[in-house]
Amino acid sequence: MDTRTYKIFRYDSSKNEKPKFRSFEIPVEKGMTVLEGLIYIQDNIDGSLAFRSSCRAGVCGSCAMHINGKYRLACETQIYSLKSKTVTIRPMAHLKVIKDLFVDLEPFWEKYKLIKPFLQPGEPPPERERIQTADDRLRLEGLIDCILCGACQASCTVCETHPEYLGPAILLKVNRFVEDSRDNAADERLEEVSGFNGVFRCHTIFNCQEVCPKELDPTGSIANLKRKIIKKKFGPAKLYK
C-alpha cells in the first residue's frame, strides 16, 4: 500500500508548551484528499488533532490551510497532486492559533462586519423582487463566488505588517456590492475603503490572486475600487499633451 508522511504543526494555546511539528505515516490511495488524510489521523492515530472542515466539497471555506508551501483548501487538494511524499501542513497565517490548525477567525469576521456585507438598496422593497438585467448580473461574475476561506488574507504580506488592513477577501466583497446594480450605497462604501486601512494599503503583490482556490481576482477588485475612488475625488482622467 502507498503511504505519505503528514508533517503537521501542533500547538495548544491552553498549555505552556512551544509549537512543534509532528509526523504521521498514513496509507493513501488515488482520489484521496489532504482533508481525508487529516480525518484518517484524527480517527485512527491521534484524536486530539484539531482542524476545521465542514462541507468537504470546496463550498464552506472552512478547511483553508498552508499545504506544501501554498494556502489551499484541504478538501479540494488531492494528495497525489502534490509532488512531495511529505505533506507539510501549517495553520493560516496572521491569526492566533487556538489549537494545531484551528485558528481564531474572530478578527477576520470583525473586518467583514465593518463593511456591511449586505445589499443596501436605500428604498423600500418592491412587491416581488429586485430585477437585474443580464448585463448587470454579468458585472458580478467572478465577484460573488468568494467562499470567505481567508486564503488570500493569509497569503497577503500587508495583512502581516498591518493587521488592521481590511485585506483582499474583505475588499473583494466591497467591490461585489459596489458593482451590484441593486445596491445604492456605493459612495459610502468607497469612502470607507479609501481610508488608512483600505485599498491604498495594497501593494499589488498578487499573492491573493495566486492562491484563491476559486480563481478569483481580489487584486483586480482592489484596483477597481482605487479607480472609482480617484475618479470620485478628482473626476474622469484627462489626457495631457
Q: Which residues contact ligand FES (rule: CB under 6 A)?
A: 53-56, 58-63, 73, 75
Cell numbers that stand for 120 in this block: 443596501
Quickly count: other Cβ atoms within 10 Å of residue 193's Cβ: 24
Q: How far is the CB of 32 from ligand FES (least distance, A)?
A: 14
Q: How far is the CB of 149 from ligand FES (least distance, A)?
A: 6
Q: How far is the CB of 75 from ligand FES (least distance, A)?
A: 3
Q: Which is nearer to ligand FES, 23 or 109 (CB)?
A: 109
Query: In this structure, are residues 56 and 195 in contact, taking their beta carbons and an 8 Å threshold?
Result: no
Rounded CA-CA distance 136/133 in Å is 5
Structure letter (DSSP) for residue 183: -
Q: Which is nearer to ligand FES, 149 or 193 (CB)?
A: 149
Q: How far is the CB of 73 from ligand FES (least distance, A)?
A: 5
Q: Which is nearer to ligand FES, 77 or 221 (CB)?
A: 77
Q: How far is the CB of 74 from ligand FES (least distance, A)?
A: 6
Q: Which is nearer to ligand FES, 99 or 214 (CB)?
A: 214
Q: How far is the CB of 217 from ligand FES (least distance, A)?
A: 20
Strands 86-90 and 3-10: parallel
R_g of the chain computed on alpha carbons: 21
Q: Which is nearer to ligand FES, 5 or 54 (CB)?
A: 54
Q: Which is nearer to ligand FES, 45 or 55 (CB)?
A: 55
- What CA–CA distances, in Å, run from 15 to 18, 23, 53, 235? 9, 20, 24, 57
Q: How far is the CB of 57 from ligand FES (least distance, A)?
A: 6
Q: Which is nearer to ligand FES, 64 or 174 (CB)?
A: 64
Sign of CA dihedral 96, 101, 102, 107: positive
Runs of H (alpha helix) within the chain: 34-44, 106-114, 134-138, 151-155, 157-161, 168-178, 186-193, 207-211, 218-234
Specify the residue for cell string 416581488. Answer: 128
Instruction: For residue 197, give the nearest of 218, 166, 160, 172 by alpha carbon.
Output: 166
